[in-house]
Amino acid sequence: MASVKVAVRVRPMNRREKDLEAKFIIQMEKSKTTITNLKIPEGGTGDSGRERSKTFTYDFSFYSADIKSPDYISQEMVFQTLGTDVVKSAFEGYNACVFAYGQTGSGKSYTMMGNSGDSGLIPRICEGLFSRINETTRWDEASFRTEVSYLEIYNERVRDLLRRKSSKTFNLRVREHPKEGPYVEDLSKHLVQNYGDVEELMDAGNINRTTAATGMNDVSSRSHAIFTIKFTQAKFDSEMPCETVSKIHLVDLAGSERADASGATGVRLKEGGNINKSLVTLGNVISALADLSQDAVNPLVKKKQVFVPYRDSVLTWLLKDSLGGNSKTIMIATISPADVNYGETLSTLRYANRAKNIINKPTINEDANV
Ligand code: ADP
Ligand code: MG
């Protein structure tokens, strides 16, 4: 049993917020994050009795708002804190999953993919995997196989981001394997031998991601992207040869804002609605799982029949194992530091707060005698 680990990361003020002379409303201290509502006067409570400041405790609160601050958390530190565990899980044969959740422009893609020269978790995890493979000296004792795939969910449709010249890239079917669970039919899988191979595929996939301009951000992703690593390790060192298989999902979710908050209309709005279907379902799944785990910790409460609506969206169906199942899962909620985003940031902090309650059941995926 393991709780989902939850981290919150605040980015620096962006140009738009500076131009609006936005005020900084996020404070972090150790694992706590505090948000202040500047509309409520100091020392007082609002008309409805609401408090000016709200404090949430997470597993980690990453202060990345000011590079000059002694508390500044860099990409490398995020990797050291969260990513190294993912690499470790892969070698131990556990499944792992990292989600980035937050409004458009809050730093999801920066955290997951990063910029060139300032890479995020996905490239660092892949690098970590290969550097550990390369440390292996006894090749007669172990062998490794690493496969990656990269897909996008856009309007509840799955698209392969890595299949180059093929007829079947759009609208792939999601099916369920009786033993291995949900999977995407015809999704291309790419065997990689070194980090350079992964880098090439990531770059190609990122170019293929659907992007569109919205009022929030010049180029913002309206889709969910899932980068998956399947890592197989065969060990011959003991009397009984065995194989472990680990699946790692690295997920960059679409912006969590409601479609109307970005001034979207028409087609944009429709897309927004559909994107929200996966996000709304993710929220519902998280709530249901949080309820379930509350029951588990309190034996006096009569067991409720809680239905977890995994099948209501493509995202939750594909990531079923990562949510309340066989996986070590991390959620990173990314936020803006500015008062102009107060509502969205508070809703992200609450969402992340609920996710803390999910309990997963990671197990080593081992096959003896292969
Ligand atoms: P999202 O994917 O959530 O829409 P992005 O990751 O694209 O947001 O971030 C929006 C902009 O802010 C990008 O230019 C990105 O480089 C920058 N940014 C985000 N987070 C940080 C951070 N922690 N430090 C520095 N720049 C950041
Ligand atoms: Mg993005």
361 assigned to active site:
no
Digits of tens for pLDDT over the chain (370 positions)?
A: 888 999 999 999 999 999 999 999 999 999 999 999 999 888 766 666 678 999 999 999 999 999 999 999 999 999 999 999 999 999 999 999 999 999 999 999 999 999 989 999 999 999 999 999 998 877 677 899 999 999 999 888 899 999 876 556 678 999 998 888 899 999 999 999 999 999 999 999 988 875 544 444 433 467 899 999 999 999 887 777 889 999 999 999 988 885 444 444 445 545 544 446 888 899 899 989 988 887 666 666 666 678 999 999 999 999 998 999 999 999 999 999 999 999 999 999 999 999 998 889 999 998 765 5
Residue 207: enclosing H or E segment and its boundaries?
Answer: helix 195-208
Instruction: Please give, one letter per residue, the 3-state secondary structure of 41-105.
Output: CCCCECCCCCECEEEEECCEEEECCCCCCCCCCCHHHHHHHHHHHHHHHHHHCCCEEEEEECCCC
pLDDT digits (tens, 9 = 90+) for 129-161: 999 999 887 767 789 999 999 999 988 889 999
What local confidence, expressed as pLDDT, does residue 294 receive?
75
Pairing relationship of beta strands 114-115 and 118-119 according to DSSP bridges: antiparallel
Q: For residue 263, indicate whether it is catalytic.
A: no
Cα separations (Å) of 309 from 8, 274, 312, 362? 26, 16, 6, 20
Rounded-to-integer distance, Cα 174 and Cα 278, Å? 14
- 105 ligand 1 Cβ < 6 A: yes
**Whats the size of the chain, residue-wise?**
370
Contact by Cβ (8 Å): 320, 182: yes
Q: How far is the CA of 228 from the centre of ligand 1 (A)?
A: 22
Q: Is 185 helix (H, G, I), strand (E, B) or coil?
A: coil
75 CB near ligand 1 (under 6 Å): no
Question: In terms of C-beta density within 10 A (0-12 exposed, 13-18 middle, 19 or more buried), how is residue 305 classed?
Answer: exposed
What is the position in ligand 1's atom list of the atom closest to the CA of 111? 6
Which pLDDT score is estimated for 237?
72
Which ligand is nearest the CA of 221, by number? 2
| Residue 167: CB atoms within 10 Å | 6
Q: Is 46 noted as a catalytic residue in this protein?
A: no
Residue type, 309: P
- pLDDT at 38 (0 to 100): 94
What is the per-residue pLDDT across 196-218, written as a single tens digit (0 to 9) for each? 999 999 999 988 875 544 444 43
Question: Would you call 108 a catalytic residue per the annotation?
Answer: yes
pLDDT score at 114: 96
CA of 4 to the centre of ligand 1 (A): 24
* Helix (H), strand (E), coil (C) string for 281-324: HHHHHHHHHHHHHHHHHCCCCCCCCCCCCHHHCHHHHHCHHHCC
pLDDT of residue 277: 83
Q: Rounded to the nearest whole angstrom, what is the distance from the C-alpha of residue 11 to the centroid of ligand 1?
A: 7
Give per-residue pLDDT as tens, 251-286: 999 888 854 444 444 455 455 444 468 888 998 999
